[in-house]
Structure 1
Amino acid sequence: MKVLFIGGSGNISTSSTQLAIEKGIEIYHLNRGNTIRKISGARVLVGDINKINEVTDLKKHNWDTVVNWIAFTPDDIERDIAFFKGKTKQYIFISSASCYQTPLSYPVITESTPLSNNLWDYANNKIKCEERLMKAYQEENFPVTIVRPSLTYDTVIPIAIGGFKEYTTADRILKGKSIIIHGDGTSLWTVTHSDDFAKGLVGLLGLTQAIGHAFHITSDEILSWNMIYKILADSLGCEAKVVHIASDFICKTEPSFTGTLLADKSESVIFDNTKIKTFVPEFKAAISFSNGIKRTLKWLNQNPDMKFINPETNAKIDNILNAYKAL
């Protein structure tokens, strides 16, 4: 099987690349050649997806599957439909679980849960991408499969404030500074290691039955936010100094957190993974957050230049804490 990953060496996609290669799949990456993580066995086509018609090597190939990890807007999708129609048997769009109805009318999410999130441009644009692709499938037989990751991690810290590509909150924990947990910390969430996500994604590659379908791929482990932060602090060998603050107050004080909180992580969600398990029977998420976050922290310790402590985020956290204390 011959597969193109547009992107392919990021936080989520690296594990999928490695697993696909282990399974004997011929993997090509299209990127600008600036990636830090080189993956043995992946063939690289150097070029800018935004200048796709200038990538001469890409025009020579037809594909069993194309996976776009870095499409975010309807314009990105129009470009891909125009270029890959007739050149691939399957096109997988990496969407987002943040597309699901916000706020939820029912906390258990299946792929039939409505898509509606007007609080976050990122999610709203992903919804528009999905709508355009499904129209192309229905009217032009464009062979789309949609995949919706939730909070998936490998080289990033999956928390709501001061994490992901930042080490800001981890650094605050290590230094004994106060950190913020939104709400009372009892709402439920799921974090998924990219190695587990890869089992589902790679299982969909070349799967004809998956065309025209959408799937989310997450762990079945359900944790409260209090537990997520406690596991992080324990893995750092520290006790976190936690201040619980309502999401509404956080976002009123620092509106830049609205997308990640009010539009995504402020309410409980439970993902029903029946569909991906039905189409990919070998899919099973086996990495607990307690084990997975230790792997992440070990990687960060081995790559200290990736421990980005953002002074702007620190200032925002301190601003929220000060405003809360002043109530």
Structure 2
Amino acid sequence: MVHQDSADLCVLYLGGTGTISASCVRLSVETGMRVTVVNRGRNSQERALPEGVETLIADVTDDDALLAAIGDRTFDAVVNFLSYDPEDARRMVSLFGPRTRQYVHISSGSIYAKPVRQLPISESTPTAPNPALEYAAAKWRTEQALQDAHVTQGFPLTVVRPSHTYDDASPPLPGGWTVVDRIARGEEIPVHGDGTSLWTLTHADDFAQGLVGLLGNPRAIGETFNITSADVYTWDQIYTIIAEALGVAPRLVHVASEMFPLVAPGWFWSGEMVGDIGHSAIFDTTKIRTFVPGFFPRLTFHRAASRMVQWRRDHPDTTRPDPDTEAVLTRIVGAYHAARDVFVARGAS
């Protein structure tokens, strides 16, 4: 269910063709909102903008270009998927404070302090800059800057914290389509820890229900929302579900989370292993369901896995394995076996 006055809303999306934002744009259009998207014009054919969306071409990091694109227009809501640092947050406050009645910042569930002391994670769970994961630390600092602007300047802020959100074109695996390809080929897949930590997965179409439902709601100003599904799996289950959809048996090797940064220090997912996905994450969504009574995620990962496998068949050019990621995964698996062989040899001596 979307806010009752949604058909009258004029909404600006900064970004709009990404994994999460594309679904939100589509649902906004379906509900009758007047939607404008600002991006660099490099729209992926995988997530083409729906008919009726106004597209403005500009680099959102360039004030002059962004102002030239939007002019003196105002918007009922501005949704920003592209803000990652405090300086950018302050720019957004200056640019859109006079131009919108609601500014929705897409933050991240990764800003919650790890390890989490109590599950499920609610909006009141402590947050902290994550030293192991610069992405999460940047999101935390950005959110802090915006919250300060809300308190001191009355900036009309709504904060949304998604967790691991995916769509058919973006599998929620560390390594993406390269991992899917390895599973299909029968190669070994490194899984952090013992594979039993719990993880929440949310399809972008389900996330969109919550976000679009908040647009135009004055009660959401000054509030923060977790928007996730209740679709929770162990990591072994996540990989196994993909394998079953491919019609193969997975070959999983369990690697200590701390080993990933040692073996692959430059890989984005190495920081995730120790700073985020290496910890269990289950979210309390009571608040979003209170503000958006129709919020009801429907797509389980079991069903989505089949859709992703079909997407791979239909889009071979965009789902090919990445050689650099392949090399990283091979190196991690090799390090696992090298360490194992050392301990086996010591045990035999």
The bucket for the TM-score relative to the shorter chain is over 0.9
Deviation by residue 1:230-250 (Cα, 9 ceiling, x = unmatched): 111111121111111111122
How far has the Cα of 1:100 moved from its partner? Answer: 0.5
Which structure has the greater CA radius of gyration? 2
Alpha carbons 2:261, 2:271 under 8 Å: kept: no
2:172 aligned residue (126, 133, 158): 158
- Please say if residues 101 and 114 of structure 1, whose CA atoms lie closer than 8 Å, have aligned partners that are also in contact: yes
> Which shows bigger deviation, 219-228 or 291-300?
291-300
3-state SS, counterpart of residue 126 of structure 2? coil
Aligned residue in 2 for 1:253: 263
Deviations 1:225-283 (A, max 9, x none): 11111111111121111111111122322223332211110011110100100111100
* 1:235 is aligned to 2:245: yes
Where 1:45 maps in the other structure, the secondary structure is strand
How far is the alpha carbon of 1:296 from its aligned partner? Answer: 2.5
Identify the match of residue 133 of structure 2 among 116, 120, 137: 120
1:220 aligns with 2:230: yes
Structure 2 unpaired stretches of 5+: 1-8, 340-349
Matched, 1:70 2:70: no
Match of 1:34 among 29, 42, 45: 42
Q: Distance in 1 between matches of 2:256 and 2:246?
A: 26
4+ long deviations beyond 6 Å: none
In the TM superposition, residue 171 of structure 1 has moved relative to its aligned partner by: 0.7
Residue by residue over 1:34-70, the C-alpha shift from the partner in whole angstroms, topping out at 9 and shown as x without a partner, is: 1122322211011111123234230231000000011
- Partners of 2:334 and 2:69 lie apart in 1 by 55
TM-superposed deviation, 1:298: 2.2
Instruction: Choose from 23, 32, 38 the match for 1:24.
Output: 32
The letter for the 2-side match of 1:173 is I
Give, in angstroms, the shift of residue 290 of structure 1.
Answer: 0.7
Q: 2:115 aligns with which of 92, 103, 124?
A: 103
For residue 126 of structure 1, what is the amino acid of its counterpart? Answer: K
SS of the residue corresponding to residue 29 of structure 1 reads: strand
The offset of 1:176, in angstroms, is 1.1
Report the equivalent of 2:65: 54
Shift of 1:300: 3.1
| Higher mean C-alpha deviation, range 35-44 or range 150-159 | 35-44
Overall identity of the aligned pairs, in %: 41
- Could you tell me how far apart the structure 2 residues matched to 1:240 and 1:80 are? 46
Gaps of 5+ in 1: none
Q: Which moved more, 1:256-265 or 1:83-92?
A: 256-265
Encode CA deviations 1:113-142: one digit per residue, 9 max, x unaligned.
Answer: 111122111111111111111111111000
Maintained 8 Å contact 1:9/1:39: no
Q: Give the AA of the match of 2:98.
A: G
AA at the equivalent of 1:16: C
Partner of 1:144: 157
- After TM superposition, give the deviation of residue 4 of structure 1 in Å: 0.1
Q: Check conservation: 2:198, 2:281, Cα contact below 8 A.
A: yes
> What is the TM-score with the length of structure 1 in the denominator?
0.96
Aligned length: 323
Residue 279 of structure 1: aligned partner? 291
TM-score, normalised to structure 2's length? Answer: 0.90
2:217 to 207, 215, 228: 207
2 CA distance for matches of 1:127 and 1:306? Answer: 32
SS at match of 1:50: coil
**Aligned to 1:238, what secondary structure does the other structure show?**
coil
Would you say the 8 A contact 2:26–2:49 is kept in 1?
Answer: no
Structure 1 residue 13 and structure 2 residue 26: aligned? Answer: no
How much has 1:168 moved relative to structure 2? Answer: 0.7
Amino acid at match of 2:75: W
Amino acid at match of 1:187: S
**Hey, what does 2:5 align to over in structure 1?**
none
* Letter of the structure 1 residue corresponding to residue 11 of structure 2: V
Contact 2:242 2:305 survives alignment (8 Å): yes
| Structure 1 CA distance for aligned equivalents of residues 271 and 334 of structure 2 | 22
